[in-house]
Structure 1
Amino acid sequence: MTAAFVRSGFDAALRGAPARLVRSDGAEVVLAVRRWHADAAGDDRWLLDRCTGPVLDLGCGPGRLLVALTRRGVPALGVDVSAAAVARCRARGVAVLRRDLFAALPGRWDHVLLADGNIGIGGDPARLLRRAAALLRPGGTVLAETDPDPTACWAGTARVHTAEGPGRPLPWAVVGADALRAVAAAAGFEVIASHAGPRCFSELRLAG
């Protein structure tokens, strides 16, 4: 998966190259590369304020949320398959592993982050949430960024386009806040909080 990810074009974006995501249904999204490389700000605070204990950031990118959590005194570990992302995290002095998020990962965590659309990784959000569930301590939560369209629910493949050209297709998914409720229920979660705005988030806890 690491080699495929690099060839997908995400690695170039995580080095700072402007990029857009082109889905197999024809939809295009300009990737927020500047935000990824900047300090945490704005709506990021909604996520950060809910991180009251150790955090695992899946698909952490260049590490802006890890930096912010560390400054708050919250233990945090990032996971990313991109060498560029991992190098940037290490340069910023935060803990990170270069690893597929479905591979073995250490510990159990109070919170798992799926920011910046990472709920779409792998093209199967229910599978990804079940993976997150296995990484949580009892009572822990998943904090996921959702599509601004609350009804969005799509899965297929997507390519990252940069000045170097299109990368290879990767399985990807998009889920809005309303659609996430059904996806979460299928993975054994319930939605306990949400935020709607230019960026949208949901907090999930295992039901029962």
Structure 2
Amino acid sequence: MIAAFEPVTEPVGLLRPPSGPTHPDPGFDAALRGVPARMLRSDGSEVVLAVRRWHAEAAGDDAWLLDRCTGPVLDLGCGPGRLVAALGSRGIPALGVDSSTAAVTRCKARGAAVLHRDLFDVLPGRWQHVLLADGNIGIGGDPLRLLRRAAALLRPGGTVLVETDPDPAAYWAGTARVHTPEGAGRPLPWAVVGADALRAVAAAAGLEVIAARAGRRCFSELRLLA
């Protein structure tokens, strides 16, 4: 099934060979099953996670991301797969990647193509677009490393689409735990990046901002520096 969505056949991944998904965090896994959740950061900030949006169909502000996808898309940290499914309905080949069993199960139920894998493992192909939506620029707590990873997965002329924090100057890195009525997850490396801060991180990763959108949800599109 995955082969139909691969732009090329050779794997891309200079970081480590496939190791399979990491042991799922119980907090994130519960949220990805639809349980209400909040994230408590090590700096004391607390954020209510948009679980309903994750599990709904793509709508509203998601259109900014979807409309920019003109070729094969890799969605890193795809969660329940609403963007992958929406792209498929538009005739755009798309593949989700997530380490959560709950997320992969939901993606498959939607008919979305998905890999149950850590996003830093070897991944197939090179892609016209790589998505880091819903705050996924924070995965791993090192936005520079993550953007370099995303850039390595692009085909020539491709772009990285990033959802940023509503505060354009925001930049924080530390650990965070997801809390649900079922209990708390373990501390995970996490980061927060606003649009202005993203420009500096992107430049260090060999990328430049070519479009941005501010509003209730904020997005930036990045391409490789010439």
TM range (shorter): over 0.9
Question: Contact 2:104 / 2:114 at 8 angstroms: preserved in 1?
Answer: yes
Query: Does structure 1 residue 58 correspond to structure 2 residue 79?
Result: no
1:205 aligns to what? Answer: 223
1:2 aligns to what? Answer: 22
Counterparts of 1:125 and 1:138, CA distance in 2: 22
1:84 aligns to what? Answer: 102
Query: Does structure 1 residue 192 correspond to structure 2 residue 206?
Result: no
Question: Contact 2:76 / 2:130 at 8 angstroms: preserved in 1?
Answer: yes
Name stretches of at least 5 consecutive residues in structure 1 with no aligned partner.
Answer: none
1:29 aligns to what? Answer: 47
Equivalent position amino acid for 1:15 in 2: R
Aligned pairs for 1:89-104 (under 5 A) are 89-104=107-122
Task: Write out the 4+ residue segments of structure 1 that deviate beyond 2 Å after TM superposition.
Answer: none
| 2:138 corresponds to which of 106, 110, 120 | 120
How far apart are residue 6 of structure 1 and its match? 2.3
2:4 aligns to what? Answer: none
Counterparts of 2:191 and 2:204, CA distance in 1: 16
Counterparts of 2:126 and 2:167, CA distance in 1: 32
Question: Contact 2:25 / 2:186 at 8 angstroms: preserved in 1?
Answer: no
Query: Does structure 1 residue 106 correspond to structure 2 residue 131?
Result: no
TM-score scaled by structure 2? Answer: 0.90
Counterparts of 1:118 and 1:73, CA distance in 2: 24
Counterparts of 2:86 and 2:182, CA distance in 1: 32
2:183 aligns to what? Answer: 165
How far apart are residue 166 of structure 1 and its match? 1.5
Counterparts of 1:118 and 1:205, CA distance in 2: 18
1:41 aligns to what? Answer: 59
Counterparts of 1:172 and 1:186, CA distance in 2: 19
TM-score scaled by structure 1? Answer: 0.98
How far apart are residue 34 of structure 1 and its match? 0.2
Name stretches of at least 5 consecutive residues in structure 2 with no aligned partner.
Answer: 1-20
2:167 aligns to what? Answer: 149
Aligned residues: 206
How far apart are residue 51 of structure 1 and its match? 0.2
2:16 aligns to what? Answer: none
Counterparts of 1:179 and 1:130, CA distance in 2: 16
1:51-76 CA-to-partner distances (Å, cap 9, x unmatched) read 00000000000000011100000000
How far apart are residue 80 of structure 1 and its match? 0.2
SS in 1 for 2:186: coil
Give the share of equivalent positions with the same residue, in percent. 82
Equivalent position amino acid for 2:25 in 1: V
How far apart are residue 203 of structure 1 and its match? 0.1
Question: Contact 2:127 / 2:158 at 8 angstroms: preserved in 1?
Answer: yes
> What do you get for the CA RMSD once the two structures are aligned?
0.7
